[in-house]
Amino acid sequence: MYRKLFLLLFLGLSSGAIMAQSKKKVKQLSQQLEQTKKNWVAPYYNQAEEPPLPMESWVPEYGIRGKYAYNGIQLSIPFLEALLGEKLFLSGPHEGNIMDWDNDDFGHYNPKFLKKLKQYLKKLSKQKDFVSSYQPFYEANLQQLARSYYRAEQHLKRQPELITAGQKLDAEERQEFFRDYSDQEEAAGYIWYEANTCANFWLRRHTDGSADEFSDLLDLLLSTFDASFLKNN
């Protein structure tokens, strides 16, 4: 009898400690996101200030590289890895906060990291103050790119044979491989460069096995800040 009571007490205390730790980490993530929003630098062509991180892009205002190069230190990879207790990459050329864009290899993401990140972001998405605070920031800085990622993902889902064919090509060949798709997206009002790089992103995610986790994260982002777009697409 006493053993059962002790076990129940132990489990209750452990559960409470885990919940408290989780709340603390969600708060830390929220605070870091707030700092990132507050100090955000929107990159543009011929920007006078050099980015603090490598970029290797002629169009910093489009895609993810410019955004990361100017803002990646604020919401750093080491901070997120320490917060989640998981490494971001299982393998690849990137190290710490530095992305090696020139390498022929690419970062193979850790699904465990992405799953834990989603857990914390999902809790933040339920906080009305957080969502209302970030809505204008999302619309100004992330909406266009997030929609391109979604449309590229749906394009490959509708034609899964493109994934198999695209994975056999090198980086330069893959750009040409998605030229028709990028042209169609540009005609629909999207950015040609982003359409092309987003399609290639999903090819890499199907290669490293993290496509489902990134799809979940993207759905969470869109359902939180862009629900009407998600419903109509």
Joined together, the tokens standing for residue 112 give 């465990």
| Mean pLDDT to the nearest integer, 121-127 | 96
| Mean pLDDT to the nearest integer, 6-31 | 64
What is the reported pTM? 0.89
- For residue 192, the SS3 value is helix
Query: Where are the chain's structural domains?
Result: 28-232
- What per-residue confidence (pLDDT) applies to 53? 94
pLDDT reading at 152 higher than 90: yes
- The CA distance from 51 to 69, in Å, is 6
- For residue 52, the SS3 value is coil
- What per-residue confidence (pLDDT) applies to 17? 39
- The CA distance from 228 to 10, in Å, is 46
The residues pairing with 91 across neighbouring beta strands, listed in sequence order, are: 108
pLDDT reading at 12 higher than 60: no
Which pLDDT band, with edges at 50, 70 and 90, does 62 fall under? very high
pLDDT reading at 27 higher than 60: yes
Which tens digits make up the pLDDT trace of 166-224? 999 988 899 899 999 999 999 999 999 999 999 999 999 999 999 999 999 999 999 99
Q: pLDDT higher for 3 or 117? A: 117
Which tens digits make up the pLDDT trace of 111-122? 999 999 999 999
Q: pLDDT higher for 115 or 95? A: 115
pLDDT reading at 21 higher than 70: no
| Mean pLDDT to the nearest integer, 21-44 | 93
Which pLDDT band, with edges at 50, 70 and 90, does 10 fall under? very low
DSSP 95: B
- What per-residue confidence (pLDDT) applies to 101? 83
Using an 8 Å Cβ cutoff, are 51 and 69 in contact? Answer: yes
- What per-residue confidence (pLDDT) applies to 171? 82
Which pLDDT band, with edges at 50, 70 and 90, does 11 fall under? very low
Most distant CA pair in the chain: distance in Å?
Answer: 73
Kind plus residue range of the DSSP H or E element containing 8:
helix 2-38
Question: Which residue's entry shows tokens 């496509």?
Answer: 211
